[in-house]
Amino acid sequence: MSGSVRDDIVRVAHSIHDRGLTHGRTGNLAVRDGDRILVTPTGVSLGDVAADELSLLEADGTHVSGPRPTKEAFLHVAMLRERPSAHAVVHTHSVHSAALSVLEEIDPDDPLPPLTAYYGMRVGRLQLLPYAAPGDPVATAAVERAARAGHALLLRNHGPVVAGPDLDTALDALEELEHTAQLFFLTRGMRTAPLTPDQLAALRSRTDPRESTPR
């Protein structure tokens, strides 16, 4: 594993923590480099992640070296397995996205309206997965199915999981999801004008491939 990959994980992990996109010792990151995957360790705040204290996994999730990986490593492994074009996954407990995940009446296939152009470009489609306890690998099959259809997932009563070609692109999409969830709550009860299917299609046709990784 190259030092630059480790440095990228540390940089993004610290940025996520410093900007309040997750809290306490929640949230985790993964990067695929060749045939192996680096993930953040369990029980460590993203603000304290260090380059020499990351967990190294085989592509199937087998722990190779380093500290014990996050108990949610299976989420990252499943996403990367089902999305060959993705090389990074970001998972946080961002407040507005997590708040969205607890609403009873939202549509699992369309939990968040496309309120902005950048949501359309960077997120595109969001899917809400059924509840599973954090770290419970029973969620693997649901993650795999959803990952085949899109790179942005929302875990029920939990938070977002977003894949991308690199960490920065995955984080951009996750932040756009969080921002749109915030807009959703700020405008709840008001009449809004989400983007139409034609407007979304036009955005997808002009999106830089690095902006998102839809399939």
137 has pLDDT over 80: yes
Going by their DSSP bridges, the two strands 152-155 and 55-58 should be labelled as: unpaired
- Of the candidates 53, 72, 82, 176, the residue annotated as catalytic is 72
pLDDT given at position 210: 43
Instruction: Delimit the domains of the chain by residue range.
Output: 3-206
**Dihedral of alpha carbons 88, 91, 94, 98, sign:** positive
Q: Which amino acid is at 30?
A: A
What would you report as the CA-atom Rg of the chain, rounded to the nearest whole angstrom?
A: 16
pLDDT grade for 43, boundaries at 50, 70 and 90? very high
Superfamily (CATH H level) for 3-206: Class II aldolase/adducin N-terminal domain (3.40.225.10)
Give the active site residue among 58, 118, 176, 211.
Answer: 118
Best CA proximity match to 92, nearest among 23, 151, 12? 23
Structure tokens at 194: 């989400």
Token pair 């915030």 is found at 182
118 is catalytic: yes
Question: Tokens for 208?
Answer: 């830089």
pLDDT tens-digit series, residues 160-190: 999 999 999 999 999 999 999 999 999 999 9
The residues, any chain, with a CB within 8 Å of residue 108's CB and separated by 6 or more, are 127, 128, 129, 130
**Residue range 76-112, pLDDT digits in tens:** 999 999 999 999 999 999 999 999 999 999 999 999 9
The band of 212, judged by pLDDT with boundaries at 50, 70 and 90, is very low
Beta-strand runs (E) in the chain:
28-33, 36-39, 55-58, 63-65, 88-91, 126-129, 152-155, 159-164
